[in-house]
A and B are shown apart, each in its own frame.
Chain A
Amino acid sequence: KAGVTQTPRYLIKTRGQQVTLSCSPISGHRSVSWYQQTPGQGLQFLFEYFSETQRNKGNFPGRFSGRQFSNSRSEMNVSTLELGDSALYLCASSFGTGHHEQYFGPGTRLTVT
Chain B
Amino acid sequence: DQQVKQNSPSLSVQEGRISILNCDYTNSMFDYFLWYKKYPAEGPTFLISISSIKDKNEDGRFTVFLNKSAKHLSLHIVPSQPGDSAVYFCAASFQGAQKLVFGQGTRLTINP
Q: Which of B14-22, B37-45, B63-71, B75-83 contacts A (4 or more CB under 8 A)?
A: B37-45
Bound: A65/B79 CA distance, A: 44
Segment 48-73 of A: residues with Cβ below 8 Å from B: 48, 50, 55-56, 58
Q: Is the CB of B102 within 8 A of A99?
A: no
Those of B1-60 within 8 Å (CB) of chain A:
31-32, 34, 36, 41-46, 49, 51
Interface size class of A (residues with CB under 8 A): 20 to 34
The answer to whether A45 touches B101, judged by C-beta atoms less than 8 angstroms apart, is yes
A58 in contact with B99 given A43-B89, A99-B32, A101-B34 (CB within 8 Å): yes
Could you tell me the dominant secondary structure of chain A's interface residues? strand
Cα-based distance from A90 to B38 in the complex (angstroms): 12
From A42, A48, A109, give the contact of B102 (CB < 8 A): A42
From A44, A56, A90, A106, B98 is in contact (CB under 8 Å) with A56
Residue of A nearest to B51 (CB): A99
Given known pairs A42-B105, A43-B89, the reply for A102 and B43 (CB within 8 Å) is no
Across the two chains, which residue of chain B brings its CB closest to A48? B98
Q: Which residues from chain A contact B34 at a C-beta distance below 8 Å?
A: 101-102
Q: How far is the CA of A78 from the CA of B97 in the complex (A)?
A: 24
- B93 at interface, CB cutoff 8 A: yes
CB–CB A33/B98 < 8 A = yes
Given contacts A43-B89, A101-B49, contact A96 B42 (CB under 8 A): no
B46 & A90 in contact (Cβ 8 Å cutoff) = no
**A: which residues have CB within 8 A of B?**
4, 31, 33, 35, 42-45, 48, 50, 55-56, 58, 90, 92, 94, 96-99, 101-107, 109
